[in-house]
Amino acid sequence: SRSLTVNNVVKEYVAGTQVLKGISFEVSGRSTVAIIGPSGTGKSTLLRCINRLIEPTGGEILIAGRDITKLSGRELRQARHYIGMVFQEFNLVERLSVIENVLCGRLGFTSVWRAWLRKYHQEDIDRAFELIEKVGLGDFATARADSLSGGQRQRVGIARAVMQNPDIIMADEPTSSLDPKTSVEIMELLNEFSADQDIPLLINIHDVNLAKRFADRIIGMSEGHVVFDGKPEELKDEH
Ligand code: ADP
Ligand code: ADP
């Protein structure tokens, strides 16, 4: 089933200094989990461990039951596809169209051209169009990414993440580059997809009000520890 298990994860960038001091939690099914906490507390480090841009020093991370902590090479690249990433700065290929961005996933520019040499299956193309429609960009499928507004770009980012049929969607500050009204629309869209496709959603978010409004669970971090894990309404104001 679609789930993420983080079990006693420790990260040291410098030997002897733990930035993550034993993080544990589990997420499954349709749920929106917001990670909040002061800056420098280890939130990005945690996300980077989960999507294996970096290797945790200790502990286990299971995605749909598969331990991804000790993979390398081809297996590691494969495992990154279990996670649909949504980024603060969208990370689109600016010179390509919306449909190309959604089809090509989060490949680097060279990979995109390599990917174009392969033929897309019609069913993938159909699914990409369907997702573009769902995120409200039906009229923009062939528009270039660099002609879109920030909110529209993030909609492409969401379609791209869902396109890879992930076991979990992770969003790293997905609204920090957007105005308040657009931020709310993007959070609503993320929640819709999570509910619709039954995919857990893990969001690193600095806006506590947005977290309280859209998450059904909040994980509060401080100095490398989980200091709160519960419903938004249980969160006291000092967090
Ligand atoms: P947050 O996302 O909560 O702001 P980070 O995970 O970015 O926190 O940072 C947590 C701590 O780890 C900070 O003290 C930061 O300086 C340190 N840190 C982050 N990245 C690195 C790195 N690549 N090398 C060494 N220390 C790092
Ligand atoms: P390529 O293999 O074509 O070089 P990658 O997919 O490795 O492209 O990376 C493209 C860019 O996206 C890089 O800058 C990388 O840091 C970033 N990136 C790729 N995957 C992730 C991920 N799971 N989380 C965060 N950043 C990522």
Which residues 6+ apart lie within 8 Å of 153 measured at CB?
A: 90, 92, 145
Q: Which residues line ligand 2 (CB under 6 A)?
A: 51, 53, 80, 85, 91, 106-108, 110-111
The yes/no answer to whether this complex scores an ipTM above 0.95 is no
Note down pLDDT in tens along the chain; length 239 residues: 799 999 999 999 999 999 999 999 999 988 999 999 999 999 999 999 999 989 999 999 999 889 999 888 888 888 888 999 999 999 998 988 999 899 887 555 556 555 665 667 788 889 999 999 999 999 999 999 999 999 999 999 999 999 989 999 999 999 999 999 999 999 999 999 999 889 999 999 989 999 999 999 999 999 999 999 999 999 986 54
Distances (CA, A) of 209 to 35, 69, 172, 215: 12, 33, 16, 10
Query: How far apart are the C-alpha atoms of 118 and 102, rounded to whole Å?
Result: 15
Residue 238 Cα, ligand 2 centroid: separation in angstroms?
36
Query: 153: phi > 0 → left, psi -120 to 50 → alpha, else beta; which?
Result: alpha
Query: Residue 35: nearest ligand to its CA?
Result: 1
Query: Residue 44: nearest ligand to its CA?
Result: 1
Instruction: For ligand 1, say whether the CB of 19 is within 6 Å of any of its atoms.
Output: yes
**Are 47 and 204 in contact, with CB atoms under 8 Å apart?**
yes
Which residues 6+ apart lie within 8 Å of 60 measured at CB?
A: 5, 6, 7, 8, 9, 67, 69
Which residue out of 45, 205, 221, 226 has the highest number of ligand 1 atoms within 8 Å of its CB and is therefore the one to mutate?
Answer: 45
Which residue out of 13, 202, 203, 208 has the highest number of ligand 1 atoms within 8 Å of its CB and is therefore the one to mutate?
Answer: 13
CA torsion angle for 219, 163, 174, 142 (degrees, to 10)?
-170
